[in-house]
Amino acid sequence: MPPEITINGDRLWESLMAMAEIGATAKGGVCRLAASEADKAGRELFIKWCVDAGCEIVADEIGNLFAKRAGEDTDALPVVMGSHLDSQPTGGKFDGVYGVLAGLEVIRSLNDAKLSTRAPVEVAVWMNEEGARFSPAMLGSGVFAGAFSLDYGLGRTDKDGVALKAALVQHELAGIAPVGRKLGAHFEAHIEQGPILEAEKKTIGVVTGVQGIVWFDVVIAGSECHAGPTPMEMRIDPVQKAASLLTQFFTLAREYAPHARVTVGEIHSHPSSRNTVPGKVQFSLDLRHPEPAILQTMHRKADAIVKKENLCGAPVSLEEIWHSPPVAFDENCITAVSNAAAKTGYPFKEMVSGAGHDSVYISRVAPTAMIFVPCKGGISHNEAESAEPHDLAAGCNVLLHAVLEYAGLCEI
Amino acid sequence: MPPEITINGDRLWESLMAMAEIGATAKGGVCRLAASEADKAGRELFIKWCVDAGCEIVADEIGNLFAKRAGEDTDALPVVMGSHLDSQPTGGKFDGVYGVLAGLEVIRSLNDAKLSTRAPVEVAVWMNEEGARFSPAMLGSGVFAGAFSLDYGLGRTDKDGVALKAALVQHELAGIAPVGRKLGAHFEAHIEQGPILEAEKKTIGVVTGVQGIVWFDVVIAGSECHAGPTPMEMRIDPVQKAASLLTQFFTLAREYAPHARVTVGEIHSHPSSRNTVPGKVQFSLDLRHPEPAILQTMHRKADAIVKKENLCGAPVSLEEIWHSPPVAFDENCITAVSNAAAKTGYPFKEMVSGAGHDSVYISRVAPTAMIFVPCKGGISHNEAESAEPHDLAAGCNVLLHAVLEYAGLCEI
């Protein structure tokens, strides 16, 4: 491979900024909900660019979109660069879009350099990654990977009761290609959505997997009584119990540092009156760890904490409401990304994704890895989401070289 | 005084049960928030009963309501039996209502016995005692006693931003009488809302004073971030800080046991999303002690805890929003209650109230004392609140005799 091959960072940036005008919000963000008018417009712009770059366009029945650049070997499985074009209602310019347009930029750069590859190279736009319009998230990639049936996916409805199927028909977003097929590899470039790369002054995150997540609802039943006359020792106080539980749950994060995450996003007392000991305190508990065994241990310890607290005072229940097992990406794909980062000379580090991505499902059916680039302050799912052009270009260069390692380069 | 004069316990009980139907909850309690539709309905029923009993009805500008039974001496200051009709959101059938309807029963019994008094006898319904809808508590009696200005009282808003003034206008609850005037004495009968009388098998609590109370708002400012990608050590997590603060605040109760009380009735996170570290946690803090010096020390220690916690992590503010110093009731009124209890032959004990009551403020402008009766398990501010008809009748008889000692009896 000629060492000088590199992507065009300015063109990538211009494409990102042009795409950000579609569904642009007043605060500088983007609202491009899945299978909406704006999503349709974004996909049309993307298709135009891909056709100009000589790609063949294919959509499948759930609305996943593929732009294919043919390879020399017609039997070779395609190397896919995928992410999503849909956004949160008050999303940013980079989440998802970056992985798609970085893929396009790789194809454009191969064209510029007049290089062909042994295996075909594709860009994938997965449908409804955010889950903001249709729940669950990562729906298009989930159906592609067989995690959900096609009927289940098409039947998901938004808050107005519109089914994904109807929205796809309305905007002519679905194709006739069956959902799911063999891929040679799947690479996803994405902003980190966390603060680690920025804090450690690394340009590239070589993503080795995705944290496992368990969600719980914690309910502590107290006995309502008056704040004044009731002696402390006669109270069944769910707030005192909550303080003890929270302290112990957060201790799990320290015990399994640095990768464990413990988050309580919601906590509420009922009835909410300042001179009444509450009859109930509820809180959410979100436990994460990249190692299945450790996540399981954290889960077991949370159970044990609750069991012990149930021996006296206000009774507690811990209910698991969702579980997403940890994902380990493909060793060879991870190595391809590491090699690409080393070759291009950017400072990089291996890391685990804390958030879910299309690659979580695609990794079940294809060798997969991800490439992270820094975003400002780690802020994402926010109109203030921001990333530096030189970091985005760096990630795209790493994507190019990782893809070429799999697709194999031939001069035209 | 004819020794046979006594109140009608059955009629008192029937009135309590009829009033409990207004705002009745499925779990057998009452929701009659101050200046609400239900409060209006409760007051209308009370007014009907008082008019039937020959009383004159007067409302003042803050919505305090007075039912007046004339005395022989038109210059004599009235002897008032006051409490409240508003309830907690999930309150019981007796808190407040008992003192009002016991007052009505005293008037009905005087009518039955065809007895007149030298001084007028009144029943007072103080506005917004609970503080559950409009903070602070004991607002109507507080304005009456000059603890708050009328403008301050009318300007208090509920959590939907509705001012008390607007709620009073909506339900036609305010009158034109100016707030505040001279009273001869104020007696308040109330369920204990604590477990002491029951535990010691006493029927009557002769209340000599009230614990001091300090109310605080605690606000912990965090920084919103994604529950997955953000390492624990980079978080500014207000829930972790809340756990530490709560643990330390509850320690104050043990340090100043057995009389200290520490209650957190409200705790809430914002925004409430299970996979986002909250940007803010707020909670209420209620500290109580009967000794002014110890309450002051508890306050100082709470300040010190917050000061220390502010040295690192999420910043905390502790704002004192209300302070009710310990109260000592009038010696002569206390003696009148003791005498009445002795005369009627019920087992009684002197005690300090753990809860605030309208008598706290009224005691600033009129000789005041209170009469407690047992409630089941000491449970109050709870739909399960319960009291025995014979105990309620006993307290009402004591109220009658204490009032007659002040109002002076004349046969009609």
For A216, name the nearest residue in chain B, comparing CA atoms only. B274
Token pair in block for residue A38 = 């704006």
Q: Which residue is closest to B213 within chain A, CA to CA? A: A228
Q: Is the pLDDT of residue B151 over 70?
A: yes
Structure tokens at B229: 């990608």
3 state DSSP class of B220: strand
Check CB contact under 8 Å for B246 and A267.
no
Looking at the predicted structure, is the pLDDT value of residue B1 above 90?
no
Q: Are A182 and A364 in contact (CB under 8 A)?
A: no
Place of tokens 């289940």: A152
Token reading at A15: 């494409």
Q: Helix, strand, or coil here: B175?
A: coil
Quick one: closest CA in A to B277, which residue? A265
- In the block, tokens 């000592």 appear at B328
Three-state SS at A62: coil
Q: Which helix (H) or strand (E) holds A391?
A: helix A389-407
**Helix or strand (DSSP H, E) at A104:** helix A97-112
pLDDT at B411 over 70: no
Q: Which amino acid is at B210?
A: V
Q: How many CB pairs under 8 A join A and B?
A: 235
Q: Looking at residue A376, what DSSP letter applies? A: G
CA gap A371, A99 in Å, rounded? 9
Per-residue model confidence (pLDDT) at position A412: 57
- And the tokens for B17? 């049960």
Among all residues of chain A, which has the CA nearest to that of B226? A194
Strands B65-69 vs A79-83: parallel, antiparallel or unpaired: unpaired
C-alpha separations of A306 from B3, B244, B374 in Å: 60, 19, 35
**In which element (H, E) is residue B59 found?**
strand B56-59
Partner residue facing A226 (CB), from B225, B232, B355: B355
Q: How far is A195 from chain B (nearest CA, A)?
A: 6
Contact A194 B226 (CB under 8 A): yes
Instruction: Report yes or no: B137 and A275 within 8 Å, Cβ to Cβ.
Output: yes
Residues of B in contact with A277 (CB under 8 A): 263, 265, 381
Q: What is the pLDDT of residue B103?
A: 98
> Distance between terminal CA atoms of chain B?
13
Asked if B86 contacts B99 with a C-beta cutoff of 8 angstroms, the reply is no
CB A371 within 8 A of CB A206: yes
Give yes or no for a contact between A372 and A395, defined as CB atoms under 8 angstroms apart. Answer: yes
Contact (CB<8Å) A192/B233: no
Best of B239, B256, B286, B376 to substitute, by most chain A Cβ atoms within 10 angstroms, is B239
Rounded to a whole number of angstroms, the distance from the CA of A245 to the nearest CA of chain B is 8
What is the amino acid identity at position B44?
A: E
Using an 8 Å CB-CB cutoff, list chain B residues near A380.
Answer: 226
Peptide bond into A78 cis (omega under 30): no
Query: Is B190 annotated as belonging to a binding site?
Result: yes
Q: How many CB atoms lie within 10 A of CB A142?
A: 25
Which pLDDT score is estimated for A311?
A: 93
CA B279 to chain centre: 34
Structure-block tokens of residue A327: 């994902």
A296 contacts A217 by C-beta, under 8 angstroms: no
Give bridge partners of residue A214 from the DSSP assignment.
Answer: A287, A323
A389 CB-contact burial (10 Å; exposed 0-12 / middle 13-18 / buried 19+): middle
Cβ distance A246 to B250 less than 8 Å, yes or no, reads: no
pLDDT tens string B49-80: 999 999 999 999 999 999 999 999 999 999 99
In tens, the pLDDT along B249-308 reads: 999 999 999 999 999 999 999 988 888 899 999 999 999 998 899 999 999 999 999 999
Contacts of B234 in chain A (CB under 8 A): 195-196, 199, 378
Binding site annotation covers B390? no
Chain B residues closer than 8 Å to A254 by CB: 232
ipTM topping 0.85: no
Nearest CA in chain B to A283: B274
- The Cα of A408 is separated from the nearest Cα of chain B by a number of Å equal to 33
Q: Which residues of B touch A253 (CB under 8 A)?
A: 232
Q: Which residue has the tokens 């509420």?
A: A268
CB B334 within 8 A of CB B169: no
pLDDT value at residue A381: 85
Residue B342 CB partners (closer than 8 Å, separation 6+): B348
CA A71 to chain B, closest CA, distance in angstroms equals: 37
Test A264 with B239 for CB contact under 8 angstroms. Answer: yes
Question: Residue B281 forms beta bridges with which residues?
Answer: B220, B269
Name the nearest CA neighbour of A217 among A260, A259, A268. A268
Contact across the interface for A378 and B288, Cβ inside 8 Å = no
Tell me the pLDDT of chain B averaged across its residues: 95
Amino acid identity of residue A123, one-letter, is V
Q: Is the peptide bond before A315 cis (omega within 30 degrees of 0)?
A: no
User: Is B217 part of any known ligand binding site?
Assistant: no
Residues with Cβ < 8 Å from B102, sequence gap 6 or more? Answer: B7, B12, B81, B189, B392, B395, B396, B399
C-beta separation of A103 from A82 below 8 A: yes
CA distance A389 to B255: 58
B169: left (phi over 0), alpha (psi -120 to 50) or beta: alpha
Nearest residue in A to B234, CA atom: A195
Largest CA distance in chain A: 88
For residue A56, list its beta bridge partners.
Answer: A68
Amino acid at B179: V
Tell me what pLDDT residue B324 has: 86
CB–CB of B380 and A264 under 8 A?
A: no
**In this prediction, what percent of chain B has a pLDDT beyond 70?**
99
The answer to whether the Cβ–Cβ distance between B381 and A224 falls below 8 Å is yes
Q: How far is CA B407 from CA A139, B116, B330, B402, B404, in A?
A: 79, 9, 16, 9, 5
* pLDDT for position A380: 87
Q: Which amino acid, one-letter code, is at B273?
A: S
pLDDT of residue B412: 57
d(CA B261, CA A279): 17
- Rounded to the nearest angstrom, the minimum Cα separation between B28 and chain A is 14
Find, in chain A, the residue whose alpha carbon is nearest to that of B227.
A263
3-state secondary structure of B202: coil
Residues 6 or more apart whose Cβ sits within 8 Å of residue A14: none
Chain A residues in contact with B229 by the CB 8 A cut-off are: 192-196, 353-355, 378
Which letter, b or e, does each residue of B283-296 get, where b requires 16 or more Cβ atoms within 10 Å of its Cβ?
bbbbbbbbbeebbe
- Residue A1's pLDDT is what? 47
Give buried/exposed letters for A233-254 (b at 16+ CB in 10 A, else e): ebbbbbbbbbbbbbebbbebbe
Distance, CA of B323 to CA of A229 (rounded, Å): 17
Tokens of A250: 């957060």
Residues at the binding site of A are 84, 95, 130, 190, 381
The residue among B273 and B383 whose pLDDT is bigger is B383
Give one word for B201, left, alpha or beta, with left for phi > 0 and alpha for psi -120 to 50. left
Q: Which residue of chain A has the CA closest to B384?
A: A224
The ranges assigned to domains in chain B are 9-210+326-411, 212-324
Hey, are the CB atoms on A243 and B246 less than 8 Å from each other? yes
Q: Which fold would CATH assign to domain B212-324?
A: Alpha-Beta Plaits (3.30.70)
CATH code of A9-210+327-411, in short, is 3.40.630.10
Q: Distance between terminal CA atoms of chain A?
A: 13
Q: Which of B227, B262, B355 sits opposite A286 (nearest CB)?
A: B227
Residue corresponding to tokens 């206008």: B169
In this structure, are residues B230 and A202 in contact, taking their beta carbons and an 8 Å threshold? no
What lies within 8 Å, CB to CB, of B303 at 6+ separation is B318
Q: For residue A227, give Cα distances in angstroms to A351, B189, B355, B356.
A: 49, 19, 7, 10
Q: Which of A224, A242, A258 sits opposite B90 (nearest CB)?
A: A224
According to the model, what pLDDT value does residue B27 have? 95
Any idea which residue has 């001069």 for tokens? A411
- B155: closest CA of chain A, how far (Å): 20
Q: Please tell me the distance in Å from A352's CA to the nearest CA on chain B.
A: 8
How high is the pLDDT of residue B226? 85
Determine the distance in angstroms separating the CA of B207 from the nearest CA of chain A, rounded to an integer. Answer: 12
CATH fold group of domain B9-210+326-411: Aminopeptidase (3.40.630)
Of A223, A232, A281, the CB nearest to B267: A281
Give the tens place of pLDDT for each residue, B344-382.
999 999 999 988 899 999 999 999 999 999 999 988 889
How does DSSP classify residue B91? Answer: B
Q: Report yes or no: B59 and B52 within 8 Å, Cβ to Cβ.
A: no
Q: How far apart are CA A360 and CA A342, in angstroms?
A: 25
- Per-position pLDDT tens, chain A of length 412: 445 799 999 999 999 999 999 999 999 999 999 999 999 999 999 999 999 999 999 999 999 999 999 999 999 999 999 999 999 888 999 999 999 999 999 999 999 999 999 999 999 999 999 988 998 889 999 999 999 999 999 999 998 999 999 999 999 999 999 999 999 999 999 999 999 999 999 999 999 999 999 999 999 999 998 899 888 998 999 999 999 999 999 999 999 999 999 999 999 999 998 989 999 999 999 999 999 999 999 999 999 999 999 999 999 999 998 888 999 999 999 999 999 999 999 999 999 999 899 999 999 999 999 999 999 999 888 889 999 999 999 999 999 999 999 999 986 5
Residue of B286, B284, B270, B278 lying closest to B239 (CA atoms): B278
Residue type, A33: L
CB-based burial label for B331 (10 Å; 0-12, 13-18, 19+)? exposed
Backbone phi, then psi, for B285, in 5-degree steps?
-135, 125
Which among A356, A245, A362, A256 has a CA at the least distance from the CA of A306? A245
Helices (H), B8-135: 9-20, 37-52, 97-112
Q: What pLDDT, on a 0 to 100 scale, did the predictor assign at position A411?
A: 66
* Residues B391, B387: Cα–Cα separation, whole Å: 7
Contacts of B269 (CB under 8 A, 6+ apart): A264, A265, A266, A267, A268, B238, B239, B278, B280, B281
